[in-house]
Amino acid sequence: MAIAVCAVICGADTWVEVEAFGHAKRDWLGTFLALPHGIPSHDTFGRVFAALDPDQFAAGFRSWVAAVAQVSTGSVVAIDGKTLRRAHDVAQGKEALVLVSAWAEANRLTLGQVAVEAGSNEIPAIPALLRMLALDGTIVTVDAIGCQTAIATQITAQGADYVLALKDNQPTLHDAVEILFAEGRAHGFVTGHHDYRRTVEKGHGRIEVRQVWTVDDPEVLAYLNPQGVWPQLRSVGMVVAERHIGTERSREARYYLSSLPSNAAALGDAVRGHWGIENRLHWVLDIAFREDESRVRQGHADQNLALLRRLALNLLRQETTSKMGVKAKRLKAGWDDAYLLTILLG
């Protein structure tokens, strides 16, 4: 386990590479590990991680995260799924692994992960992941697949607020909210019951304009939630994002349900924070760790190796003395034993 953690930090993406790292760093590893039989073969690494109970491994991971970082009040905890596209085996009838992760945007850390059961989807996995986390005082953001009354109820029961993306999986409610904002923008919102924010960002040859509206009119909320099935629903929101790159222009409108008070700035920040799980976790795992290319799939090895990547990424994120990207940090850790030790010590 110790060899694998160090190897993945230092750039290993397969069991063959983990074994090669072990041989290259045999003397250094021997300073703190007893290695009476030398470095295990890549087949041994594969067998061990295929047999390792992923739930126990994940529980240890969450305990470690809780020990090294605290998610502060008002922080965004984003929940989203990711498919390991090549971790499937047609011959064995094994589907590609889908993992639902929790991401603390302010800390830039993965808090935990749960695998989606074969033949199912992310909806049952989200509550299972939420139950494992301390969420009191946080803002939990979930994409449209998690826009479910049971999930909203669980989030509020755990002492958190929610911001849920609203799309066509809730067609009646989505259409009603869409009409609400169309009418409000055309004819004016009810005085004292809406908020608005506009931001403009320039960089990398593009201009991004974001407009956020929120509404907390009690009559509107009662109409949208007549049976009270959405717990503590306090506002609905719309985010319109426009992107200008040269002469090209794109525009997208998205809608949200929230237990937060009507505050356009807060909703906009929560929505932006949610995209951190895509931009700073999933994208980095694919680019710096080549996760989407991984063919590891025997037993539980795919799920456990995925957790090793997240463990390594958390450690690399916590190391702030070097102003380098994740890939460069992995390379430096492989070259420099002292730097690797700095990463391991957190």
Residues of the chain predicted below pLDDT 50 = none
What is the model's pLDDT at position 71? 86
In this structure, the strands spanning 139-142 and 161-166 are parallel
pTM: 0.91
Query: What percent of the chain has pLDDT above 70?
Result: 97
pLDDT digits (tens, 9 = 90+) for 155-177: 999 999 999 999 988 999 999 99
What is the model's pLDDT at position 329? 96
The half-sphere exposure of 204 on its side-chain side, counting CA atoms within 13 A, is: 3
What is the model's pLDDT at position 185? 92
What is the model's pLDDT at position 295? 85
Cβ–Cβ < 8 Å for 8, 327: no
Q: Which residues contact 113 (CB under 8 A, 6 or more apart)?
A: 58, 61, 99, 100, 101, 102, 129, 306, 307, 310
pLDDT digits (tens, 9 = 90+) for 267-288: 999 999 999 999 999 999 999 9
pLDDT digits (tens, 9 = 90+) for 248-264: 889 999 999 999 999 99
Catalogue the long-range contacts made by 328-335 (C-beta closer than 8 Å, 24 or more residues apart).
330/9, 330/10, 330/11, 330/288, 331/10, 331/11, 333/9, 333/10, 333/11, 334/10, 334/11, 334/21
Closest CA to 259 of 234, 222, 227, 224: 234
Closest CA to 217 of 199, 236, 230: 236
What is the model's pLDDT at position 16? 96
Domains and CATH numbers, the chain: 1-51+298-346 (no CATH), 52-297 (3.90.350.10)
